[in-house]
A and B are shown apart, each in its own frame.
Chain A
Amino acid sequence: MQRIGVFVCHCGSNIAATVDVKKVVEMVSHEPGVVHAEDYQYMCSEVGQAKIIEAIREKHLTGLVVCSCSPRMHETTFRKTAERAGLNPYMVEIANIREHCSWIHKNMEEATEKAVILARAAIAKVNLDAPLFPGESRVTKRALVIGGGIAGIQTALDIADAGYEVDIVEKTPSIGGRMSQLDKTFPTLDCSACILTPKMVEASANEKIHLYTYSEVEKVSGFVGDFTVDIRKKARSVDMSKCTGCGVCQEKCPSRKTPSEFNRGLNTRSAIYTPFAQAIPNVPVIDREACIKFKTGKCGLCQKVCQAGAIDYEQKDEIVTEKYGAIVVATGFDTIKLDKYDEYAYSQSKDVITSLELERIMNAAGPTKGHLERLSDGKHPKNMVFIQCVGSRCSDKRGKSYCSKICCMYTAKHAMLIRDKYPDVNVTVFYIDVRTPGKNFDEFYRRAVEDYGVNYIKGQVGKVMPQPNGQLLVQGVDLLDNKQILMEADMVVLATAIEPNADVRRIATMLTASIDTNNFLTEAHAKLRPVESPTAGVFLSGVCQGPKDIPETVAQAGAAAVKAIGLLAKDKLMTNPCTAKSDELLCNGCSQCANVCPYGAISYETKLINDHGIREDRRVAVVNSALCQGCGACTVTCPSGAMDLQGFANRQILAEVDAICR
Chain B
Amino acid sequence: MNKPEIRLIDDNGLRVDGRRLDELRPTKMEVGVLDKADGSAYIEQGKNRIIAAIYGPREAHPKHVALADRAVIKCRYHMAPFSVEERKSPAPSRRELELSKVIREALETSIMSELYPRTSIDITIEVLQSDGGSRCAAITAASLALADAGVPLREIVAACAVGKINGKIALDLSDIEDKEGDADLPVAFMPKSKAITLLQMDGSFTEEEFNQALDMAINACEKINEMQIEALKRKYISVKEQAEESREVAT
Asked if chains A and B come from one complex, the reply is no
Give residues in B with beta carbon < 8 Å to A: none
Give residues in A with beta carbon < 8 Å to B: none
